[in-house]
Structure formats: structure tokens, C-alpha cells
Structure 1
Amino acid sequence: MDRSLFLARLMGPTFVAIALGILINLGMYQSMIVEALHTGILFYLSGLLSLLAGLAIINLHNRWQADWRSIITVMGWLMTLGGIMRIVLPQVAVAIGSTVYSGRAATVVVALITGAIGAFLSFNGYVRRA
């Protein structure tokens, strides 16, 4: 199977599930986000996991083509940079996270964007035939 299809099939449903989880359980996720935005071992471990996943994606799929596959590469780079930020500059990462997740509406917007990316990747991974 093509790497792009494999990663789209892996990332797409995961992003959709995350988005649905946030939208269905908004209050609980907002509490979890507030907890997660405190520096500590969980913050560090989330950065480490994000860095590892991002590096795996960009090492397997560093493709800059003018089609849907570039989204996978961009997501890999964002995960890598986010992981590095949480490990090297945790205070900056907390400030950015606090700004992004500043309220209920912002959390819903992030969930909708995540869900849209997930649906798009799922469509391209499972439905669309090149």
C-alpha cells in the first residue's frame, strides 16, 4: 500500500475521533486541556510522543506535491515542531496552547478543523481512487 494512503487511513479516523470526542464531551475536554497546559512530566511526554510521531511521518512521507498528500507532510512537520516546542521551550508552548484554547468557542473551532482534516484524509485514504 502506498505510504500516503496508509498514513491517511491512520491519521484521518484518528482526527475524526478526536474531533467527535471534543464536540460530544466539550466540558470534559476543556478540563483536560487546562490540565495538559501545565508544565510537568505529562507535558514533556506529550512533546516526546508528538516529536517521535512527527519525525516518523516526515521520514516516511516528506512529499511536497501539489495535491492532498502535502497535508500529511504538513501535519508531520507541525507535530515535530510542536514536540520540539514542548520539550525545549515549554513556557512558550503553554502560552501558545493557552491562546489557541482560550475558550469554549476556540475549542469548538479547533475540533471542527481537526474533524475536517480527518474527514478529508479519511476520504482520500479510503474512498477516493486515484
Structure 2
Amino acid sequence: MLMDVFLKEVRERGEYDTDDEADRAARVVFALLGAHLVGGERTELAARLPETYALILLNPLQAAEPLAPERFVRATAAWIDGATNETARWDIGAVLSVAADAAGADLTHRILTQLPPGYDELFGRPTHHDR
């Protein structure tokens, strides 16, 4: 996906005023996400992203363990100046929903199986479980 197309989608979904705001959110989210993905799925996702974000995803921040979704939100908020957990969740949703569209259903499903339960909502793909 081309950078301008990706940023346009993130900007629209995140309701950002500028490309810089959308870019800042994408850089943080991919740096954190990359620490939680391994193997072919991380490489496949990177191949479907603009090069800038692919490189960030492939050279992530280090994580000792996968973060639960709420901890991922808090970590994102900590990396974005002035962010709250609520605005970070919004940023994550804008970025990851565009990434999921670029990845397609199969790859997104394989990515979600690597992550702790609850990331499906962050990707804009809530899973409905029968109770």
C-alpha cells in the first residue's frame, strides 16, 4: 500500500487534522505491535504496509511478554504526547483497522491468533462468541 493512501485512510478513520497526526499514531502503534508478532505473519503484514511502517514493524521496540489489550492501550498512550487511554484506543483503532484491511481476512486472523484475547476489537474486527 502506498504511503499517501495509507495515511489518508488512517487520517479519515482517526479524524485527524493532519497527516503528521496520523503518521505519529501509525509509528507508535507499529513499533509496539511489532514486538508482539513473530515469524511469517509479521513479515507478511510488513509487505502490505508502506515501507516506512514496514521497517518500524520489523524493527520493533522490545517486549518481555505480549501485552494484554488494555496494557497495549496504556503503552500507546505513554508514547504519544498528551494522549489518554481513550485517545490512544482511538489511535490504535484507526491504524490497525487500516492495517487489517491491507492484510486481508486470512492474515488478520493469523495475526490475531498470536496476540492475547481482545485485540480483535483493536483491529476493528470484533469476534462474536456464542455464549
TM-score, normalised with respect to structure 2: 0.30
TM-score, normalised with respect to structure 1: 0.30
Q: Which has the higher contact order (CA 8 A, sep 6+)?
A: 1
